[in-house]
Amino acid sequence: MPEEERKVGPVYRVFSQDLYSTDFHSDEMGVRQNEVWRSKSRQFTKDSEIIGKISEREMRSDSNRLTDFEKTGFITIRNSLWTGEMNEGSRRLVLKLFSESGRWLATLEEMVAESIATSYAVKEPMISFAVMVDDVEIICYIRQVMRTGFSTETYSFYILGPGGSFEVFRIEGKRGTLGDDFKVVRLRSDDTVAEIDSKFADIGGEFVVKIKDPVLAENDWFCRTLQAFSVAVRFRKEIHQKIERMTKKWEKGDFEPLQHRYETSLLANPRKLTLSIEELEDI
């Protein structure tokens, strides 16, 4: 779609990430159900726990109206990484999205070392996430860039486009809302192209992503990235508290975190995989 014809309008696509309030739900019913999911995708690990469902609705071109919500997938958390590590520095949030048939869609991983480094520099707990999406070879990093009493909680990320182009976005906390709600602003036009509405419960909660840009509504990389981030909203407070504890203890010499090897693997030199030998010589 040419840029001059691309206008933010109504909501074109909606994703609901609804976290369960109990462990009793249809996705995990039965002793062997988790084994069934593991047989369908290696991304469903032994320590995976299904914590919610994904539902979608989209604009119908023939009526300009949104369809009814349809359940299209589920959400997992890796429990051994979130609560099982003895060293708190190795504990990290890892969330995954799957289709209704069990196909892996996306993973969000907390980047602990980068979060601590940024937090130490700005003297405020800050969070960084890595997001990987099916059929996309590039990792997307969502980095918190602002968290003070005079501004809203803000994150930034970018995704690549054709011919070396890329799009930059800001995830900005809304002011004056009851929940932890965000708007997603596109740099090129300064338009709000998406919104994240959070509805917290005592246990669980619902996190709804609304895409308002017709092109981005069809971009699964953009949509899956926001879906994964919306679920992470539920865990932000715990992550901030963990980072604050670790940085204070480390400054006093009472603690030394250990980076989990899965996190270290995300720091491998990507140029070895994406550039030719001739290009490496020119770097």
The residue-averaged pLDDT of 241-256 equals 91
pLDDT surpassing 70 at residue 28: no
Kindly tell me if the per-residue pLDDT of 116 is higher than 70: yes
pLDDT at 1 over 60: no
pTM: 0.89
Tens digits of residue pLDDT in 132-172 = 999 998 999 999 998 655 568 899 999 999 998 999 999 99
The predicted model gives 252-262 an average pLDDT of 88
Within its chain, how far is the Cα of 122 from the centroid?
23
Give Dmax over CA atoms of the chain in angstroms: 64
| Per-residue tokens: 203 | 């246990």
Three-point CA angle 142, 257, 171, nearest 5°: 15
How far apart are alpha carbons 143 and 242 in whole angstroms?
17
Q: Is the pLDDT of residue 31 over 90?
A: no
* pLDDT score at 24: 54
CA Rg value for the chain: 20
Gap between the Cα atoms of 183 and 194, Å rounded: 6
Name residue 164's amino acid.
Answer: G
H-helix or E-strand spanning residue 24:
none
Closest CA to 149 of 123, 112, 110, 179: 123
Q: Tell me the pLDDT of the chain averaged across its residues.
A: 87
CA angle at residue 145 from 121 to 166, to 5 degrees? Answer: 125
Amino acid identity at 146: M
In the predicted structure, residue 176 carries a pLDDT above the cut 70: no
Q: Using the predicted structure, report yes or no on whether residue 233 has a pLDDT greater than 90.
A: yes
Q: How confident is the model at residue 258 (pLDDT cuts 50, 70, 90)?
A: confident
- Model confidence at 62: pLDDT above 90: no
- Residue 89 corresponds to which tokens in the numbers above? 């520095």
| pLDDT > 60? residue 4 | no
Question: What SS3 class is residue 168?
Answer: strand
- pLDDT for the residue 255: 85
- Give how far the C-alpha of residue 114 lies from the chain's centroid of Cα atoms, to the nearest Å: 16
Report the pLDDT averaged over residues 102-128: 94
Domains along the chain with CATH numbers:
8-282 (3.20.90)
Sorting pLDDT into bands at 50, 70 and 90, what band is 202?
low
Give the mean model confidence (pLDDT) for residues 161-185. 87
| Cα–Cα distance measured from residue 156 to residue 142, given in angstroms and rounded to the nearest whole number | 6
Residues 6+ apart with CB under 8 A from 69: 14, 16, 55, 56, 57
Burial of 204 from C-beta contacts in 10 A (0-12 / 13-18 / 19+) = middle
Mean of pLDDT values over 236-260: 91
Q: Say how many CA atoms lie within 13 Å of 203 toward its Cβ.
A: 5
Pairing of strands 94-99, 128-133: unpaired
210 three-class SS: strand
